Amino acid sequence: MITKVMMPEMGEGVVEGTVARWLVGEGDFVKQYDPILEIETDKVTTEATAEESGTVLQICVAEGTIAPVGTVLAYIGEPGDALPENGEVKAAVPTLEPEQTIPAPATAVSPAAPTPPNQPYTGRISPVVSRIAAEHKVDLNQIEGTGLDGRITKKDILAYIEQRSQPPTPEPAITSEPEPPLSSPPAMSPSPTVSPGHRVTLSPASGEILPLTNMRRSIAEHMVRSKQTSPHVTTIFEFDFTNVDKHRRAHKEQFARDGANLTFTAYIIAATVAALKKHPLVNSTWTDNGIELKPEINMGMATAVDDGLIVPVIKNADSLNLLGLARSINDLAQRARSKQLKPADVQGGTFSITNHGTSGSLFATPIINQPQCGILGVGMIEKRVKVIDDAIAIRTMAYVGLTFDHRILDGASADNFVATIKEDIENWR
């Protein structure tokens, strides 16, 4: 029996995905639940697995192709099995987005036909193309679509935006009688054309262009939007982690027997959750109608991955004890780095923490993960010399900063929140 490998549903509102990389080739034998390809969306990269054991008979969608949810990506079966001959395979090879009709005039215009200037584009585009066009103020009439019947794909609009951002090449000045140069300059190489998905090496003076991945583009858009949306302010405290360090050393083996690696992050999240309960204004979102207080506490934890940064979310973190938090942290971090996260794993956060100190950083001013109120940044936890009761002591210290939305919090309310976390950490028992 032939099994179809379909583009899965990647979460609410996610209507398409990109085939980032095939992990198998045609003719390879795969076992049930073996990973067979990587699928990338604007927020997450994850692996799809084989639903049944068998041989990969045909790969229908090439790497780098955007495919709607439900598209047949490949067929798995027994060698010699006949593939469907009803056009299903051809229909499954998508280089376009799922259709979304843009309001059009009464007279229909063919998508492939040129549209008169200053008239709205009346072809069919995906929600992703529609969003990108709105954000970058793109006139779709200026783009030549490469999809079926001339439709504009996500690849087309991103290539157009990239080309539009390049400065125009100045026209050479023309004189009636140009004089010969004193010496012939070295010949200049023509500027190469950079197409999405290809890495192009330029001249040493120009450097090298690295094409943007979906994740890098999404991070860039989110960071710019956050800085444009919220007035960012950062307050920094110094925390004494000595008691937490003692507790961790005393209980690390016990937690390991229970299947959890006990890290400082678990303590930080536990203390932050307790502080959010005491200061509910921090667990909120700004809206035009007022400040929306979130009833649940869903803790985002920024996690570095090979090609960027992702923020998986611990749902209902206030319902977990220290062991439960440690297990959730281990699970989400491991799945983030092995590309096993699902879109639901990175949605619904109400507050975030970034442990930038793992790379040796002491101070940082992280950017708010919109639409949240703030983000807590924890610097490197290390032993330092401190003066305590007029005596020199060696303590386990770190700088902890809160970047917050100044529309929601003022300096005093932000400092009171961080002070609550500090008190909990320093008096841990």
| HSE-up of residue 419 (Cα within 13 Å, Cβ side) | 6
User: Which residues make beta-bridge pairs with 236?
Assistant: 401
- 60 is written with which tokens? 């229908």
Sign of CA dihedral 280, 293, 326, 366: negative
Task: Tell me what pLDDT residue 66 has.
Answer: 86
Positions marked catalytic: 406, 410
Report long-range pairs for 138-142 (Cβ below 8 Å, ≥24 apart).
141/115, 141/117
**Distance separating alpha carbons of residues 376 and 355, to the nearest angstrom:** 8
Which residue carries 């923020």 as its tokens? 311
Residue 150's nearest CA partner among 194, 195, 96 is 96
User: Which residues make beta-bridge pairs with 294?
Assistant: none
Specify the CATH architecture of the domain 95-100+122-165.
Irregular (4.10)
Phi/psi-derived region of residue 70, left when phi > 0, alpha when psi is between -120 and 50, beta in every other case: left
| 379: CB partners within 8 A, 6+ apart | 356, 357, 361, 362, 363, 364, 398, 399, 400, 401
Q: Where are the domains of the chain?
A: 3-92, 95-100+122-165, 217-426
CA angle 343–349–351, rounded 5-degree value: 150
Which residue carries 């507790």 as its tokens? 247
**Distance separating alpha carbons of residues 34 and 398, to the nearest angstrom:** 42
Residues of the chain with pLDDT under 70: 10-14, 42-43, 85-128, 130-131, 147-149, 166-206
Residue environment code for 71-101, b if the CB has 16+ CB neighbours within 10 A, otherwise e: bbbbbbbeeeeeeeeeeeeeebebbbbbeee
**How is residue 43 annotated by DSSP?**
S
* pLDDT tens for each residue of 125-184: 665 676 677 778 888 888 887 765 577 877 788 888 888 876 665 555 444 444 444 444
**Distance separating alpha carbons of residues 383 and 126, to the nearest angstrom:** 54
Task: For the domain made up of 217-426, give the CATH fold.
Answer: Chloramphenicol Acetyltransferase (3.30.559)
Distances from the Cα of 374 to the Cα of 13, 232, 313, 333, 350, angstroms: 25, 9, 15, 21, 9
Task: Tell me what pLDDT residue 344 has.
Answer: 83
Task: Tell me what pLDDT residue 256 has.
Answer: 95
Whether the bond between 371 and the residue before it is cis, its omega within 30 degrees of 0, is yes
- CATH numeric code, 3-92: 2.40.50.100
**Distance separating alpha carbons of residues 272 and 269, to the nearest angstrom:** 5
- 182 is written with which tokens? 């004193």
Residue 354's nearest CA partner among 341, 366, 371 is 366
